[in-house]
């Protein structure tokens, strides 16, 4: 069922294009959530995926990882079609997920959460290991034998990020990593994302907190009721607040 990769490269419009969605339509049951979403992301860049509640951001993420397979349209990772594959195969091709609500494995301890997500090293000079994740989040090392369900929200978020990194993803999807966390922890998550970006990690960042996202992002997509209403440079949104006010509501961007 894996699509043939023979001419996959030929589809690539940019040599360094990491992720491309083309006319993606996805449904939850009968409700048509994504109505033709298209955007692309360059390798090594951070794309902020913004939108109001219910705009389809999480469905978009679920479509990319294969948990809500698109009914129409294609998703490509470095030119290779991933839409239609099973989620475990999409993960193995290089998509990493930090899901909304963290969804760490509650009955596994911290170390096991990282261990089960370890994947064969891809072509990457410095693959992620448990030790590197512990270096990044020393708190996790202190608690490595603790059941993951007993961690604080911030620690669970660190674990969810570390778990995704263990798969050495070429594109990391982060769905609302600051949700429900104290301001101090939000700042730490922000620093972590910024550090990952500086190390060259390609990231798609979904955020309600559009200020946090735009401060970090190179480019941005705004979804409204399942459609892209903006796809461009993040600097454009930073310069022109009216686009944000119009599409995300006036309360955004000042939290």
Partner 1 sequence: MQFWIIQSLNSLALGGVLFLLASGFSLIFGLMRLANLAHGALFMVGAYIGANLLRKYAFIDLWMAALLSGLMVAAAGGLLERLVLRRLATNPLGQVLVTLGVSFIIADACLMVWGGDPIPVPTPSYLRRPLFVVGFAFPAYRVVVVGIAIATAIGLYLLLERTRLGAMIRAGVDDMDMARAVGIPVSKLFTAVFCLGAGIAGAAGVLAGPILSAYPGLDADMLPLALIVVILGGIGSLVGAFVGSFIIGFIYTFGTALVPDLAYVILFLPMIFIIAYSPQGLFGRMAT
Q: Applying CB under 8 A, which residues contact partner 1?
A: 65-67, 86-88, 91-92, 96-97, 99, 103, 105-108, 112-113, 115-117, 119, 163-164, 166-167
CA distance 133 to 240: 37
Residue 110 and residue 146 in contact, taking contact as beta carbons nearer than 8 Å: yes
In this complex, which beta carbon is closest to partner 1, that of residue 111 or of residue 197?
111
**In angstroms, what CA-CA distances link 210 with 19, 85, 149, 178, 214?**
21, 31, 29, 11, 6
Least Å from the CB of residue 234 to partner 1: 26
CA distance 166 to 155: 16
Least Å from the CB of residue 251 to partner 1: 31
In this complex, which beta carbon is closest to partner 1, that of residue 17 or of residue 112?
112
Least Å from the CB of residue 229 to partner 1: 28
Closest CA to 46 of 166, 156, 171, 149: 171
Least Å from the CB of residue 158 to partner 1: 15
In this complex, which beta carbon is closest to partner 1, that of residue 24 or of residue 244?
24
In this complex, which beta carbon is closest to partner 1, that of residue 53 or of residue 107?
107
Least Å from the CB of residue 203 to partner 1: 16
Strand ordering across the sheet containing 219-224: 95-98, 171-175, 202-206, 46-51, 219-224, 227-233
In this complex, which beta carbon is closest to partner 1, that of residue 128 or of residue 230?
128
Least Å from the CB of residue 29 to partner 1: 13
First to last CA, the chain: 46
In this complex, which beta carbon is closest to partner 1, that of residue 59 or of residue 210?
59
Q: Helix %, strand %, coil % for the chain, to 5?
A: 35, 25, 40
Residue 145 and residue 165 in contact, taking contact as beta carbons nearer than 8 Å: no
Name the strand (E) or helix (H) holding 243.
helix 241-248
């Amino acid at each position: 069922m894996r699509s043939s990769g023979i001419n996959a490269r030929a589809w690539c419009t940019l040599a360094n294009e990491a992720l491309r969605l083309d006319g993606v339509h996805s449904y939850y049951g009968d409700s048509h959530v994504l109505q033709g979403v298209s955007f692309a992301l360059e390798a090594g860049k951070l794309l902020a995926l913004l939108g109001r509640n219910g705009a389809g951001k999480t469905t978009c993420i679920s479509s990319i990882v294969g948990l809500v397979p698109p009914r129409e349209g294609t998703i490509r990772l470095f030119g290779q079609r991933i839409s239609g594959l099973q989620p475990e195969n999409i993960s193995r091709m290089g998509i990493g997920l930090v899901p909304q609500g963290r969804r760490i494995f509650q009955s596994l301890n911290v170390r096991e959460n990282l261990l089960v997500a370890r994947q064969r090293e891809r072509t990457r000079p410095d693959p992620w290991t448990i030790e590197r994740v512990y270096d990044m989040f020393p708190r996790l090392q202190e608690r490595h034998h603790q059941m993951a369900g007993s961690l604080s929200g911030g620690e669970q978020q660190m674990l969810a990020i570390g778990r995704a990194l263990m798969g050495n993803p070429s594109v990391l999807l982060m769905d609302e990593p600051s949700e429900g966390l104290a301001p101090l922890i939000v700042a730490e998550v922000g620093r972590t994302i910024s550090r990952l970006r500086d190390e060259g990690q390609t990231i798609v960042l979904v955020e309600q907190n559009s200020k946090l996202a735009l401060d970090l992002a190179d480019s941005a997509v705004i979804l409204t009721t399942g459609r892209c209403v903006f796809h461009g440079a993040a600097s454009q949104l930073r310069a022109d607040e009216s686009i944000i006010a119009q599409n995300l509501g006036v309360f955004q961007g000042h939290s």
